């Protein structure tokens, strides 16, 4: 199951919140593909990272960090919380293109921003999964890539779906 494209599609919608020109030479999709390739983590970690980003935005009502950094940190947090085996922060920094000092600072700050609430109810997880299935079925970008499944935040309705449900 390829979940990277739909997650990139989701993050592209958030990209306008604040991009701080962190990475100009790589698309969000390519960045996520890089993380997927070198982090050796499961699809559930990507979904959990989206849930954490959603919690962060709900708490702060803003995004003062670029989406690349948010996803990198929350994906790493998800891996550390849910997986038995994980790498040292230096490895995640090297893959993600961020220095260790900033990584450690952001990890701490972003954990505090969601109140260290890392447990995710299965119902919430399943809601994200269902919304991504719905998203993939209507998203022209994801359909062009022939993606069979993915995940999408439960509280976001893609513009394509919103238009179809209002008629």
pLDDT in tens, 24-42: 577 888 888 999 999 988 8
Is 135 a residue whose pLDDT tops 90? Answer: no
Q: Domain holding 15: CATH number?
A: 1.10.472.10
Domain count within the chain: 1
pTM over 0.85: no
* Domain housing 123: 4-165
Alpha helices in the chain (DSSP H): 4-14, 28-39, 43-60, 67-82, 89-96, 100-113, 122-138, 140-144, 159-165
For the stretch 70-83, pLDDT in tens is: 899 999 999 999 98
Sole residue written with tokens 């003062």: 64
Highest-pLDDT range among 51-65, 90-104, 150-164: 90-104
10's CB contacts (< 8 A; 6+ apart) are 50, 135, 152, 153, 156
């Amino acid at each position: 199951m390829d979940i990277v494209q739909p997650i990139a599609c989701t993050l592209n919608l958030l990209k306008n919140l604040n991009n701080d020109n962190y990475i100009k030479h790589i698309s969000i999709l390519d960045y996520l593909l890089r993380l997927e390739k070198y982090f050796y983590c499961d699809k559930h970690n990507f979904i959990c990272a989206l849930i954490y980003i959603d919690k962060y935005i709900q708490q702060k009502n803003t995004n003062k960090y670029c989406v690349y950094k948010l996803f990198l940190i929350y994906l790493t947090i998800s891996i550390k919380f849910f997986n038995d085996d994980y790498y040292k922060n230096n490895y995640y920094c090297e893959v993600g293109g961020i220095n260790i000092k900033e990584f450690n600072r952001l990890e701490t700050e972003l954990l505090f921003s969601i109140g260290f609430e890392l447990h995710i109810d299965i119902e919430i997880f399943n809601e994200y999964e269902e919304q991504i299935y719905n998203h993939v079925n209507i998203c022209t970008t994801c359909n062009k890539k022939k993606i069979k499944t993915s995940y999408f935040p439960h509280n976001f309705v893609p513009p394509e779906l919103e238009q179809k449900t209002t008629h």
